[in-house]
Copies of this chain bind each other. A is one copy, B any other.
Amino acid sequence: MRILTLNGPNLNRLGKRDASHYGVLTLEGIERALREAYPEDDFRFLQSNHEGELIDAIQAAEKDRDGVLINPGGYAHTSVAMRDALAECRLPKVEVHLSHLANREGFRQTLVTAQACDGYVSGFREKSYLAGVYLLKLLAEEGSVRT
């Protein structure tokens, strides 16, 4: 399965500093864990701090990807534009969050982008990504795409 893994702002800094929400994870570590757990799949990783770049990538995904795994970072709570891009993309889409959003600040309770994905997984650190791929594959098997 060809999977686009999108990471939003500041996830490039993951594990470099504060371990309180995310432990000692790094984005590289997450990518390595995904490849190890799913060695036969084709992953493309993109991290960007720029909202427009993320939207460009979502728009381009249908061309050569079979599914989208997205952790929108801070844009998850504010970006109507990313939500609109996701809504139009006809691939299986799973939103994942490292931390347990329901137990964090109020402004992280609003999920704007998730509304345009098939579903979301929150709270299991790097395991959220692993479960995200697990779900993308189940969705792809089923041939079902959220419309």
Contacts and interface: CB of A to CB of B under 8 A. Distances in A.
**Secondary structure dominating the interface of A:** helix
Nearest to A72: B81
Residue among A80, A135, A139 with most chain B CB within 10 A: A80
B118 A119 contact: no
A61 interface: no
Contacts of A70: none
A18 B89 CA distance: 10
A115 B103 contact: yes
Interface of A: 8-10, 12-13, 16-18, 48-53, 55-56, 59, 73-75, 77-85, 87-88, 90, 100, 102-103, 107-108, 111-112, 114-115, 117-124, 127-128, 130-131, 134-135, 138-139, 142, 146
Given A9-B55, A73-B81, 17 more contacts: A8-B81, A9-B85, A10-B88, A17-B88, A17-B90, A18-B87, A50-B50, A50-B52, A73-B84, A74-B84, A102-B111, A102-B115, A118-B123, A119-B122, A124-B135, A127-B139, A131-B135
